[in-house]
Amino acid sequence: MIMIKPSVTTLMTLLLFTVGSVQASSIITVESKGSSARTVLGSTVIPYKEVTLTAQVPGRIDVVSGDVGSMFSAGDLLVKINDDNLQAKRRSVLAVLDSAKAALSNSEVQYQREVVSPRSKDITGMPGMGMPAMMDIYMTRPFMSKMLGDSDDDYNRYSDLLNKSTGVAQAKSNVMKSWSSLNAIDAQLKNAISTAPFEGMVLQKMVEVGDTVQPGQPLVKFGYVKYKRLRADIPSILVQSLRKDMEVPVVINGTIKTNAKVSQIYPIADAARHTVTVKFDLYTDVKASPGMYAEIYLPDRGKKGTKVLVIPKTVLLKGRSLPSVLVINEKGKSELRLVRLGNAQGKDKIEVVSGLSAGDQVINNPPTDAVSGFMPLND
């Protein structure tokens, strides 16, 4: 192998080129200027409403109806969890319920018998003094109750009636307990079946036939797609120009141009991102699918005194999926920060909607591999 040793001139040229590239980086200040351009924000097409059906009972998935994109009417079966164990418990509870009903019928009959034919007056209950039992009611019992004071016929009858009525009440409680157990199992059987809550489409399937699930595990995502919306997180400073039912221009999937109506403005802003979620209703004839990307053109903010933040395009870090810049913090060190961009301001500058403030210092022309902590050599 032949080794070619670079000359001193070549090395010096590379060194100067590298140093020059680093020295090209500099620290600049974010400025604000008046603007009459509309702000463009990204958003997503969503169904008019959507729900996520979750498992309410544990078990194995027996049925998953349709596939993603399948349409269903309200009440149609979407997912069914195996319920063999619950069915067995239900049959057991039914047997206990039948037994409780039989015990209740017997208790009621015994109570009625006590009312019609009191046990305290049964001539076979006390054959006293060796005399015929038929004479007991005339001699033995009056003798014991009145002369000896050992018995009270009225209290005995009250006690017998109370005993029988208590038996009836207990039997009724057992029947009610069995009914409650049966209703609980029926509720679990109902929870083993997930049906469409309204007319709509399956947006996402999280399970397949044969999967084992636990309570709370997502099964399918279902949405009402006859009407569609746009959802966007809008910087709080821009929400002031929006009002309910106003229309704004939108472009869906880069080709579909239409208008959307403001339908809902969330009353609370995100504390971390300082944005407010806003929903826009689309016209029914717009051919859009949930998940499509859309751009929303917010109303003109270019009134007298209105300022927007502007940075050179060279401030943006290259090769990143999200727009980001290096900002000088209070300690004099650079840190990576994501920004939301608006419209271009001329050929070389672009508007910053959120992420920076007027007067912030940022690094211009950062190297491609720059990370937090990078500082220009001439700083």
CATH for the 52-81+192-219 domain, from 3.40.50.300, 2.40.50.100, 1.10.10.10, 1.10.3720.10? 2.40.50.100
- The CATH fold of domain 23-36+302-379: 2.40.420
User: What pLDDT does residue 145 have?
Assistant: 54
CA gap 161, 166 in Å, rounded: 9
Q: Which residue has the tokens 């005399």?
A: 131
Q: For the chain, how long is the longest CA-to-CA vector?
A: 146
CA gap 315, 147 in Å, rounded: 118
Contact 311, 325 (CB under 8 A): yes
User: What pLDDT does residue 351 have?
Assistant: 83
User: What pLDDT does residue 39 have?
Assistant: 79
Contact 28, 364 (CB under 8 A): yes
CA gap 282, 249 in Å, rounded: 11
Sorted by sequence, the CB contacts under 8 Å of residue 272 that are 6+ apart come out as none
- Burial (0-12, 13-18, 19+ Cβ within 10 Å), 9: exposed
pLDDT in tens, the chain (379 residues): 444 455 544 444 444 444 444 447 888 998 877 655 577 888 999 999 999 999 999 999 999 998 998 999 999 999 999 999 999 999 999 999 999 999 999 988 888 888 887 876 655 555 544 455 555 555 555 555 555 555 566 777 788 888 888 989 999 999 999 999 999 999 999 999 999 999 999 999 999 999 999 999 999 999 999 999 999 999 888 888 888 988 888 999 888 889 999 999 999 988 888 889 999 999 988 888 898 999 998 875 545 445 678 899 999 998 888 899 999 998 889 999 999 887 777 778 888 888 898 889 999 999 888 888 888 876 5
Positive or negative: CA dihedral 196, 201, 206, 207: positive
User: What pLDDT does residue 327 have?
Assistant: 93
Could you tell me which CATH class the domain 40-46+224-297 is placed in? mainly beta
